[in-house]
Structures are given as C-alpha cells and as structure tokens.
Amino acid sequence: MAKRRYVARGVPGGYGIWDNKARRWWGDRYELCPDDLLAELNGAADPARITAQLKRYRALRR
C-alpha cells in the first residue's frame, strides 16, 4: 500500500489534516474526523468535490 500524502491527526479540540509531502498542516481544524475529505485528497483530488467537502465541514462547525 502506498504511503498516504494527507492524514488526519488528533489535535486539541478535534482533528487536523497533515500533509506528509510538505510536512505542514493543511486546511482548518475539524471537530469530527474528515474521512471523506481525506479520501478525496488522497484519491482523485477533484477540486469541485474538495470544495464541496470543505463547505460541508465548515457548516458543521457552526
């Protein structure tokens, strides 16, 4: 199995997305683990679907 570029890591207050290639945090912090967002980032990486996932997770925080 190939090494994943983006992984969810636990941070105080929820989860953050860690970029293994750039070695830095990507995006916002999330209360729930963003499994489908991670699958899209590590898979096809379609910008429209990534944007839709980001909007959905931001709406959950409100």
pLDDT at 10: 94
Give kind and range of the element (H or E) at residue 11: strand 6-11
Nearest-10 Cα torsion for 11, 52, 26, 47: 160
pLDDT tens, position by position, 15-40: 999 999 999 999 999 988 999 999 99
**SS3 state at 42:** helix
pLDDT band of 62, cuts 50, 70, 90: low
Contacts of 16 (CB under 8 A, 6+ apart): 8, 9, 25, 27, 29, 30
DSSP state, 2? P
pTM of the model: 0.84
